[in-house]
A = this chain, B = another copy of it.
Amino acid sequence: MDQTPEQPLVTGADPQAEATDLEALADLLGVLAYGSLTASIRMCVDADAAPGLSVKSALVGLAADEYRHYEAVIARMVALGIDHEAAMQPFVAPLASYHERTRPKTWLEGLVKAYVGEGIAKDFYGEVAKFVDADTRAVIHAALVRERQEDLVVDVVRTAMKTDPQVSGRLALWGRRLVGEALSQAQAVAVERDPLAMLLIGGADLAELGRMFGRLTDAHRARMARLGLDA
């Protein structure tokens, strides 16, 4: 990952700025942690509906990876003296809302949701890692290791589309819906959480923020293409 010059977040000299920074960092780590925890739960619930041992196992494997990320982020919050339950609380409702509005109707939708959702989450982790102190960045990067289950997800989805060509149209629509709902919840969070918004906007100028969204969109499009779907 290419690094731009950055200010460490939690080692500022100005006590006021430091307090704000720690608040922003609590927001950021709070949403990462609770996002991983809920993703883990959703993937397991979807695994329950999946037919066949290999798909079940792949989804539970992705879920276990999400839980490892959750644990790492919690450990970092503990090290920073952040109350991790309090930090996650503001994101309980938006994430519940996202998952409620994107409840898969088929196990294949569940699989695409896991793949697309984890992909976007990881790209976002990679982007925000630039804005935080070095130790926190190391925790975030550790959560970015590519997992082996992804290849199986791609294979299964591609095979399903070969068997039933109608599937691809429905899944392409589904992919767009997942991104739309994610963006709409992210916007709601940004409006509510000043410190987090300031961290993202303050760390980069607006042009850079635009480029960041461009990169996230491009990566999403590449992921959908890997599945054989239009984004």
Q: Does A224 contact B (CB under 8 A)?
A: no
Say how far A176's CB is from chain B's closest CB, in angstroms.
26
Chain A residues within 8 Å of chain B by Cβ, number: 27
| A-B contacts, 23 listed (Cβ < 8 Å) | A34-B53, A37-B56, A37-B57, A40-B44, A40-B60, A40-B63, A41-B47, A42-B48, A43-B44, A44-B45, A44-B47, A44-B60, A45-B45, A45-B48, A53-B85, A53-B88, A53-B92, A57-B70, A60-B67, A63-B63, A63-B67, A64-B64, A64-B68
Tell me the bound Cα distance from A67 to B58 in angstroms: 11
Please indicate the chain B residues that have their CB under 8 angstroms from the CB of A56 in the complex.
37, 41
Q: Does A61 contact B (CB under 8 A)?
A: yes
* Segment 101-137 of A: residues with Cβ below 8 Å from B: none
Tell me the bound Cα distance from A183 to B228 in angstroms: 47
Known: A41-B44, A61-B67. 20 other contacts (CB 8 A): A34-B53, A37-B53, A37-B57, A40-B44, A40-B60, A40-B63, A40-B64, A41-B47, A41-B48, A41-B60, A44-B47, A44-B60, A45-B45, A53-B89, A57-B74, A61-B71, A63-B63, A63-B64, A63-B67, A64-B64
Q: List 10 tightest A-B contacts by C-beta distance, closest first.
A: A44-B44, A64-B67, A64-B64, A41-B48, A53-B85, A41-B44, A40-B60, A41-B47, A60-B67, A45-B45
* Segment 18-64 of A: residues with Cβ below 8 Å from B: 34, 37, 40-45, 47-48, 53-54, 56-57, 60-61, 63-64
A67's nearest neighbour on chain B, judged by CB, is: B64
The A interface is mostly helix, strand or loop, or mixed, namely helix
A53's nearest neighbour on chain B, judged by CB, is: B85
Please indicate the chain B residues that have their CB under 8 angstroms from the CB of A40 in the complex.
44, 60, 63-64
* Contacts known (A67-B61, A67-B63, A68-B64); A85 close to B54, Cβ less than 8 A: yes
